[in-house]
């Protein structure tokens, strides 16, 4: 369940009558307002979706390999070096 905090942002959404009725019925079944039900459900789904981007688990061997790879100095790439030595489109051009 979401923690109570100052809610300063608003999210509007369009939905069908059937979808609204389904959400109302589900909210009533959980004894929540529709807003609370939708917010809790959406945040729960969002956290599930993002979990694999925040946390990953490795066994000991994989962890050691991962740490070893992180500790290695970066490889040099000639093409990347040339790219970074060229002027960028974002560099300010002096007007003459």
Q: Does residue 95 register a pLDDT over 70? A: no
- Does the reported pTM lie above 0.75? no
How many helical (H) and strand (E) elements, i.e. helices and strands, does the chain have? 4, 0
pLDDT of residue 2: 46
pLDDT in tens, 60-86: 999 999 999 999 998 889 999 888 888
Res. 94 pLDDT band, cuts 50 70 90: low
Q: Does residue 3 register a pLDDT over 70? A: no
pLDDT of residue 93: 66
77-to-39, 67, 80 alpha-carbon distances in Å? 47, 22, 5
Distance between CA atoms of residues 84 and 72, nearest Å: 22
Q: Give the pair of three-digit tokens for residue 67.
A: 């740490």
pLDDT of residue 87: 87
Q: What's the chain's Rg over C-alpha atoms?
A: 25
Mean pLDDT of 32-53: 92
């Amino acid at each position: 369940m979401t923690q109570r905090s100052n809610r300063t942002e608003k999210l509007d959404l369009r939905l069908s009558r059937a979808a609204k009725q389904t959400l109302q019925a589900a909210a009533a079944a959980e004894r929540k307002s529709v807003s609370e039900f939708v917010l809790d459900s959406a945040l729960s789904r969002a956290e599930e979706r993002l979990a694999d981007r925040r946390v990953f688990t490795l066994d000991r061997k994989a962890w050691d390999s991962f740490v070893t790879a992180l500790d290695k100095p970066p490889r040099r790439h000639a093409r990347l070096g040339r790219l970074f030595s060229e002027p960028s489109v974002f560099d300010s051009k002096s007007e003459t």
